[in-house]
Amino acid sequence: MQEEVLEFSVSHKRKYSTDHLWLQDKEDRFTIGISDFLAKDMGEVLRVILPHADTEINIDDELFSVCFTYGTVVFRSRFSGIVLEVNGEAEINPELLYDDPYNDGWCMIFKPHLMDADQLMEPDEYIEYLANS
């Protein structure tokens, strides 16, 4: 039997979470999106549900959700903070998360109140995490 191969990319300018989010730090705020691995693994992105800008988020609150061909994933926040901006274009054209997850497919800009960056993985750590999952 031939083993199925999943081709995906990992951006080296971001950090990653175990639930397959990427975070890019810019001036104490984070642009957040889903990893290319998750998009390719879960199939076509059918719908993206984002909060409103200026929404206060607590630890474990729903950050946003994505409906894929193979199910819906609800992402919970690991940090408290405020949603500064959302990518409305991703809600209108959810395929951006599949086609261009590290650029036009970003989901939101989030400003954490207090953050423990040790919870996040460097790109090489994320690749190792995927290999061992």
DSSP H/E element including 90: helix 88-92
pLDDT at residue 2 in the model: 53
The single-letter DSSP state of residue 121 is B
CA 17 to chain centre: 8
Query: Mean pLDDT for the chain?
Result: 92
Is the model's pLDDT at 4 over the cut of 70? no
Domain residues of the chain, as ranges?
16-115
Dihedral of alpha carbons 87, 93, 99, 104, sign? negative
pLDDT at residue 5 in the model: 61
pLDDT tens for residues 36-87? 999 999 989 999 999 999 999 999 999 999 999 999 999 999 899 999 999 9
What pTM, to 2 d.p., does this model score? 0.91
Is the model's pLDDT at 1 over the cut of 60? no
> How is domain 16-115 classified at the architecture level of CATH?
Beta Barrel (2.40)
The C-alpha angle 102, 124, 22, rounded to 5 degrees, equals 30
DSSP H/E element including 124: helix 123-132
